[in-house]
Structure 1
Amino acid sequence: MSRILILVFVLLSAFAFPLPLASGAERVAIVLHVNGAISPAAAEYVTRGLARANDRGAVLVILRMDTPGGLDTSMRDIIRAILDSSVPVASFVAPSGARAASAGTYILYASHVAAMAPGTNLGAATPIAIGGGLFGDDEQRDKNTPAEPGKPPDDKRPANPGEAKLINDAVAYIRGLAELRDRNADWAERAVREAASLSSAAAAREKVIDFTAATIEDLLKQAHGRTVRVGQADVRLDTAGLAVEDVLPDWRTRLLSVITDPNVALLLMIVGIYGLIFEFLTPGTVVPGTIGGISLLLGLYALAVLPVSYAGIGLILLGVALLVAEAHAPSFGALGLGGGVAIVLGAAILFDTDVPGLQVSWPVLGGVAIASFTFSLLVARLALLSRRHKVATGAEQMIGISGKVDTWAGAAGYVIAHGERWRAVSGEPLGPGEDVMVVGRDGLTLEVKRRAKRS
């Protein structure tokens, strides 16, 4: 029995932790696919893919890219992983029509081999300041001040010190990568300062990339024999006859990619907020609270990894507070409408970035607005209807109910009402068995009168 358990354990371990390739095993080039914005999910996918390639002893990692750019933090995570990799990395902008804009340009410069398919482009690497100037810093620059010698012309200079600091940091970063890989550092600076772009053929002429390649097989053929710097050593690439293995994102990476989409993150937040509100208003329904709690936690996770505006978060919290206030102290829609407006405005400025692919779309904002205003109107309608209905809870709900005299003496006695025996008083003499109606209540004593008989 113990031998069987040991065998099962060994088999499970083999499936859970693939062993590195032994010497003499098939030589392989691992292909990672980065399509869309450079996000935390993309950074984790590339980092884990490079770690897997290092563990397996792969000959080359090909990073096949088509990206409009992305977050600075995610881009730097990918570049750090490339620089730390013991396996050479070849970035390949493909297929035709693809691009490596903004963050993709930095990644291309950081790679040991840079290649592009015909009909692709790169560049426009100017960083975008998160949030911008709070008090109109763009207007503080004197347009009539002449440019200093060696500085760009006035219309190319940063609008404010914060932007200048951001651009200078980006310039130093990409020039360092260019010098590390012996690529065109001057054009790299232009891509940052002037948002310059190049086609694949022009990039090869300007020595921004190493070569153009139509396919991965063509890339491997042209990369063969090249010497690249990996860590502190020069490595001569031997890419002839490599087996190509695609490593696609797993379910965890795909889930993270969906959750960290700003539109999905916003919807998760809204569903979570309304689910919890409905659960608190109608305790015991369970389903809204369960779905709301899960959605809210997923949304908060997305907020933790995406650039957000604190003003947007504050407006959403204010809107939630106003909606809760409307539900508990109905103002016939005034608080609810104010809460809906606050939530919509907060959602509009919540994700503080202009990166393509990481923006909240107008249809989603429209859906949030409709949901908020619908909730406000629903609460207002329930408030109006409640004023027309008879009181159903509390002490006041006893007023107007019927009862029957149990025992009576003089002006006081006991009556049966709501299936309970109550002490009662009346301004008229009553007798046992008579039908009465409650007209008032003082603590545990009811005030009753004889119910008129129907003719």
Structure 2
Amino acid sequence: MRKWLLLALLLFLFPGVGAASGRKIVVLTVDGPIMPVTAHYIDRGIELAEHEGAAACLIRLNTPGGLYSATQKIVSREVNARVPVIVYVTPAGGWAASAGAFITMGGHVAAMAPGTRIGAAHPVAGGQDQDEVALKKATADAAAWMRSLAQMRGRNAELAEKMVTESRSFSASEALKEKLIDLVAPGEATLFRELEGKEITLASGQKVELHLVGATLQEVPLTRSEEILSAILTPDVAYLLLTIGMIGLLVEIYHPGLIIPGVVGGIALLVALYSLGTLDAFWGGLLLLLLSFGFLVAEVFAPTHGILATGGVIGFILGSLLLFSTRPQGVKVSTGLIAAMSVTLAGLMALLVTAVVRGQKRQVQTGEEELIGKLAEVRSPLNPTGIVFLDGELWQAEIEEGEAEVGEKVIVVGKEGLKLKVKRR
């Protein structure tokens, strides 16, 4: 009885204690480029928060940018969420660049850790053939979108727009001073205390008061399938798979019958093409890579002593550099990986071409030419015809001059049909 009275007294004196024990905050962590799998992950996390009636959904954000299409899906999900979404740019030294700026502005609460920055959200051309008019249209659309998000959240729409049109960037303290974000917090505990009691208006018009102090944090990790897609759908891995696919198929073409290189290469190439298509790689770079592959294959059927192979390697290097040349910051293949794969491919082609040239110069080891010059043993007297034994087989033979007795050795000098022409040693 005393325990129940004590519990009732605690609840009366500290009403937040009982409430906090039942509240939770769903926590998502985005650390890296914004890709399609990132949009799926955030959508799943917000849906979980809605289903479980969480007090809020916290997105820890640290990104150099990413794909515009994936960003649109993420921001749309944030705006229409049925729970408050808090975007927290962290850790110190992190950033919310390009796509990250849109995601931060789309949150019901935008917060940053000290030492972080936000901005540089100007659109990147979608290809070398994209004209100035098309780029202006894309910039105007992105600027209007950023301005709309800032106005919706009561933030500085003018400076938010300049993050797009002028690629402006702001430190955490500058962003707070210019009212681009709601607060700067050194840690999540401080963040939750600062937001305690803040009223949030959801897309439905419903007003929600934040009570985050003492709430349980529910971390949402990537699922196994998301981890696999996250690994595959990155520029470096996609490029590496493409290179492995090309090398595997080349080895199989140059040395038919090995099987394993062909199987591995085919699978890697198909996965790479799927990944590159999802990442919206520049088609010009991809076509140049495929053309270089064609040159390397052609070297087998039209030997040019390395001319086609050299052109293929040069095309491979240029295609690699162009593959993500038109993508936003953070979506690119590392220069070191391009250099390593180019050297590897050049070295492999040097070995394969050398093997082909040597094969062309090597004496023929099969067919009629193989028999010429070999020694055969006489099994029945050659007078002038008889039987000889050669390489485990009995042959009819005809001697050119004289005779040969059983057991003698004769030299093969020619072949007519199934009869060998021989002469004495």
TM-score (norm: length of structure 2)? 0.86
- 1:299 corresponding residue in structure 2: 272
Q: Go from structure 1 to structure 2 and tell me whether the alpha carbon gap of 1:199 and 1:291 turns closer, same or farther (over 3 Å shift).
A: same
- 2:200 corresponding residue in structure 1: 228
CA separation in 1, counterparts of 2:315 and 2:387? 55
- 1:366 corresponding residue in structure 2: 339
Deviation of 1:186 (Å)? 1.6
Deviation of 1:425 (Å)? 5.0
- 1:67 corresponding residue in structure 2: 63
Match of 1:417 among 390, 397, 403: 390
RMSD over equivalenced CA pairs, Å: 2.7
Query: Which is worse superposed, 184-193 or 238-247?
Result: 238-247
Deviation of 1:41 (Å)? 3.1
Deviation of 1:412 (Å)? 5.3
CA separation in 2, counterparts of 1:230 and 1:411? 108
Q: Go from structure 1 to structure 2 and tell me whether the alpha carbon gap of 1:246 and 1:448 turns closer, same or farther (over 3 Å shift).
A: same
- 1:189 corresponding residue in structure 2: 161
1:385 partnered with 2:358 = yes
Question: Superposed, which structure 2 residues align to 1:302-317 within 5 Å?
Answer: 302-317=275-290
Secondary structure of 2:48 counterpart:
helix
Query: Which is worse superposed, 299-308 or 122-131?
Result: 299-308
Secondary structure of 2:290 counterpart:
helix
Q: Go from structure 1 to structure 2 and tell me whether the alpha carbon gap of 1:246 and 1:286 turns closer, same or farther (over 3 Å shift).
A: same
Match of 2:43 among 38, 41, 47: 47
**Percentage of matched positions with identical amino acids:** 36
Match of 2:113 among 113, 117, 135: 117
Asked if structure 2 preserves the Cα contact closer than 8 Å seen for 1:96 and 1:119, the reply is yes
Asked if structure 1 preserves the Cα contact closer than 8 Å seen for 2:289 and 2:316, the reply is yes
1:402 partnered with 2:375 = yes
Match of 2:324 among 325, 331, 351: 351
Query: Which is worse superposed, 55-64 or 397-406?
Result: 397-406
Asked if structure 1 preserves the Cα contact closer than 8 Å seen for 2:382 and 2:399, the reply is no
Query: Which is worse superposed, 283-292 or 357-366?
Result: 283-292
Q: Go from structure 1 to structure 2 and tell me whether the alpha carbon gap of 1:223 and 1:299 turns closer, same or farther (over 3 Å shift).
A: same
* Alignment gaps of 5+ in structure 2: 1-18
1:172 partnered with 2:144 = yes
- 1:104 corresponding residue in structure 2: 100
Asked if structure 1 preserves the Cα contact closer than 8 Å seen for 2:122 and 2:139, the reply is yes
TM-score (norm: length of structure 1)? 0.80
- 1:252 corresponding residue in structure 2: 225
- 2:76 corresponding residue in structure 1: 80
Deviation of 1:430 (Å)? 4.7
Question: Superposed, which structure 2 residues align to 1:269-308 within 5 Å?
Answer: 269-308=242-281
Asked if structure 2 preserves the Cα contact closer than 8 Å seen for 1:268 and 1:299, the reply is yes
Deviation of 1:340 (Å)? 1.5
Asked if structure 1 preserves the Cα contact closer than 8 Å seen for 2:25 and 2:58, the reply is yes
Post-superposition Cα deviations, 1:98-152, rounded to whole Å, max 9, x if no partner, equal 2211111111111111111223221111111122346xx5xxxxxxxxxxxxxxx
CA separation in 2, counterparts of 1:315 and 1:441? 51
- 1:33 corresponding residue in structure 2: 29
Question: Superposed, which structure 2 residues align to 1:315-330 within 5 Å?
Answer: 315-330=288-303
Deviation of 1:394 (Å)? 4.0
Secondary structure of 2:206 counterpart:
strand
Deviation of 1:25 (Å)? 7.9
Count of residue correspondences: 405
Asked if structure 2 preserves the Cα contact closer than 8 Å seen for 1:425 and 1:445, the reply is no
One-letter amino acid matched to 1:191: M
Match of 2:89 among 75, 90, 93: 93
